[in-house]
């Protein structure tokens, strides 16, 4: 038993798994919110409003706005000028004509073709009416009748009227232009609202500046903005800022995700094309049949049952043999691999000397093995099968509480490996550290015959992080 681990586990040196998991989940959730807020238009708006609301000019404008009154304002001057123009007699006459039936009648005659025959006859007569005396007489008589008509008489007389002459004069006048402009302003909802606003003692509450101040306070009190303010000048989010999640399985489905895992050992697939057991093992691999996912947990089930499988025999090579146990093996080989990073998983510590549960990183070279977790006949983590015949370096896990879930982490850097349990670093090595890509592997082996009918290797989730590229 590791005395160090026993004491840490017994006296609180290793924090509760639920607390660590909650902190990790909360940190990542906060980070995602932080990033969303950091890139949001709302934050840009908040920072601009904060700068504005806290400025001396804003405070000064607020005080001045509260002093505003309608009396003496530009709006009052516009209203007075408009009322004065309304009393202008020429403008009053212009407005009467502009809406009159006579003006509409005149413009219709001018623009229409009702008088075309009259003007045609006028032109013919002026040029010498008709080809004969009789035709000329007829044309003159028609012209006379048309000229005496009400429409022609009106059309000829109306332009000379005083009212129409005043209309034409005022049409282009500065008074009319100013009047129309002021009329549009005075009658607008905006002017009416502005007038009421200036006469309102609570004009500040109705101002744009007040809206901006209220919007600033609204944004300031938003949980997302408060979260951003909480973290923006701290290093609390350094981990998610510097590391990205490149592989994850929460085992939330009811079946194994075949896009992430294979149920055939990487080297078995490369050599004989199907799983095989090592010399001395008592289990045959079930090619995924002993892999269960239930309650958001992966379980590799070891069953006491007869199953045929290939076994490596140092003398005979690969031979088929009926084994007394079945188990399974998972790998990301050929799907996911990485060089350097952080591997962590939430695993149930379930030691049984008859079995060996293993979660490790292995590479194409089939040399060094980085053990995140070993439990059973040997309960440990560390570096095994080191290159160049180096001795294995391991740290015992025997001080942990059986049946409990822990978060095991392995930090793999260039020239250094370190292992943690629930974020507490317990072991590190600085030599013989592999520097080539590796993939994830999980299995449960039967080391010696057991009275138990079954054994379970349970994993709640798996994650692999790598440094973000700058």
Reported as a single tens digit per residue, the pLDDT across 230-246 is: 999 999 999 999 999 99
Residue of 287, 284, 182, 299 whose CA lies nearest to 251:
299
In sign, the C-alpha dihedral spanning 207, 209, 215, 217 is: negative
Q: Answer whether 381's CB lies under 8 Å from 437's CB.
A: no
Q: What is the mean pLDDT of residues 14-29?
A: 94
What span, in angstroms and rounded, lies between the C-alpha atoms of 160 and 320? 123
Q: pLDDT at position 131, please? A: 61
Q: What is the mean pLDDT of residues 422-433?
A: 93
In sign, the C-alpha dihedral spanning 393, 399, 404, 409 is: negative
Label residues 384-403 b or e (16+ Cβ within 10 Å = b): bebeeeeeebbbbbbbbeee
**The pLDDT of residue 420 is above 90:** yes
Q: pLDDT at position 255, please? A: 93
End-to-end CA distance of the chain: 43
Q: pLDDT at position 2, please? A: 64
Of the chain, the percentage scoring pLDDT greater than 90 comes to: 69
* Residue 454, H or E segment: strand 454-467
**The pLDDT of residue 11 is above 70:** no
**The pLDDT of residue 212 is above 80:** yes
Per-residue pLDDT tens digits for 353-391: 999 999 999 998 767 899 999 999 999 999 986 555 566
**The pLDDT of residue 3 is above 70:** no
Q: Answer whether 44's CB lies under 8 Å from 219's CB.
A: no
* Residue 31, H or E segment: helix 17-38
Q: pLDDT at position 462, please? A: 98
Per-residue pLDDT tens digits for 312-363: 888 888 899 999 999 999 999 999 999 999 999 999 999 999 999 999 999 9
Q: Answer whether 354's CB lies under 8 Å from 450's CB.
A: yes
Lowest model confidence (mean pLDDT) among 84-88, 202-206, 377-381: 202-206
Q: How far is CA 187 from CA 68, 77, 182, 183, 229, in A?
A: 22, 15, 8, 6, 47
Q: What is the mean pLDDT of residues 161-176?
A: 91
Q: pLDDT at position 120, please? A: 85
Residue of 363, 383, 283 whose CA lies nearest to 329:
283
Q: What is the mean pLDDT of residues 260-273?
A: 93
Instruction: Locate the DSSP E strands across 31-116.
Output: none
**The pLDDT of residue 32 is above 80:** yes
Q: pLDDT at position 390, please? A: 60
Q: Answer whether 454's CB lies under 8 Å from 303's CB.
A: yes
Q: What is the mean pLDDT of residues 407-428?
A: 96
Per-residue pLDDT tens digits for 105-152: 999 988 989 888 888 888 888 887 666 788 888 888 888 898 899 989
Collapsing DSSP to helix, strand or coil, 2 comes out as: coil
Of the chain, the percentage scoring pLDDT greater than 70 comes to: 95
pTM of the full structure: 0.70
Q: How far is CA 68 from CA 31, 192, 453, in A?
A: 47, 16, 89
Average model confidence (pLDDT) across the chain: 91
Which is higher by pLDDT, 130 or 195? Answer: 195
Q: What is the mean pLDDT of residues 233-260?
A: 96
**The pLDDT of residue 1 is above 60:** no
Q: pLDDT at position 35, please? A: 96
């Amino acid at each position: 038993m590791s005395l160090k681990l026993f004491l840490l586990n017994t006296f609180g040196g290793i924090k509760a798994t639920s607390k660590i998991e909650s902190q990790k989940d909360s940190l990542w959730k906060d980070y995602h919110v932080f990033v969303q807020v950091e890139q949001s238009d709302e934050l840009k708006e908040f920072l601009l409003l904060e700068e504005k609301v806290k400025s001396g000019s804003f405070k000064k404008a607020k005080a001045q706005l509260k002093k505003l009154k309608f009396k003496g304002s530009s709006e009052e001057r516009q209203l007075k000028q408009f009322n004065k123009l309304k009393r202008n007699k020429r403008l009053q006459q212009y407005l009467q004509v502009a809406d009159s039936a006579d003006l509409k009648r005149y413009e219709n005659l001018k623009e229409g073709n009702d008088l075309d025959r009259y003007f045609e006859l006028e032109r013919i007569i002026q040029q010498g009416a008709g080809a004969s005396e009789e035709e000329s007489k007829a044309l003159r008589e028609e012209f006379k009748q048309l000229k005496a008509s009400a429409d022609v008489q009106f059309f000829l007389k109306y332009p000379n009227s005083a009212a129409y002459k005043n209309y034409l004069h005022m049409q282009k006048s500065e008074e009319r232009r100013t009047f129309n402009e002021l009329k549009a302003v005075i009658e607008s909802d905006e002017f009416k609202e502005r007038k009421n606003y200036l006469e309102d003692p609570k004009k500040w509450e109705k101002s744009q500046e007040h809206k901006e101040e209220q919007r600033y306070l609204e944004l300031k009190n938003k949980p997302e903005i408060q979260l951003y303010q909480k973290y923006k000048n701290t290093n609390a989010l350094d981990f998610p800022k510097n590391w990205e999640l490149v592989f994850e399985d929460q085992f939330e489905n009811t079946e194994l995700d075949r896009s992430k895992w294979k149920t055939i050992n990487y080297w078995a697939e490369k050599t004989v094309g199907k799983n095989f057991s090592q010399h001395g093992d008592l289990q045959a691999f079930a090619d995924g049949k002993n892999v269960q996912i239930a309650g958001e947990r992966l379980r590799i089930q070891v069953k006491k049952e007869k199953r045929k499988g290939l076994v490596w025999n140092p003398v005979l090579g690969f031979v088929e043999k009926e084994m007394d146990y079945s188990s399974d093996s998972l790998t990301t080989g050929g799907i996911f691999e990485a060089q350097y990073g952080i591997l962590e998983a939430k695993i149930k510590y379930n030691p049984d000397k008859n079995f060996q549960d293993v979660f490790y990183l292995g590479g194409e070279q089939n040399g060094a093995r980085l053990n995140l977790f070993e439990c059973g006949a040997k309960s440990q983590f560390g570096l095994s099968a080191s290159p160049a015949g180096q001795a294995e370096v391991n740290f015992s896990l025997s001080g942990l509480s059986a049946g409990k879930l822990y978060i095991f982490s392995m930090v793999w850097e260039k020239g250094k490996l370190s292992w943690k349990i629930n974020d507490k670093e317990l072991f590190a090595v600085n030599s013989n550290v592999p520097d080539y890509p590796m993939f994830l592997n999980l299995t449960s082996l039967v080391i010696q015959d057991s009275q138990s009918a079954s054994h379970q290797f349970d994993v709640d989730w798996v994650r692999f992080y790598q440094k973000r590229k700058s």
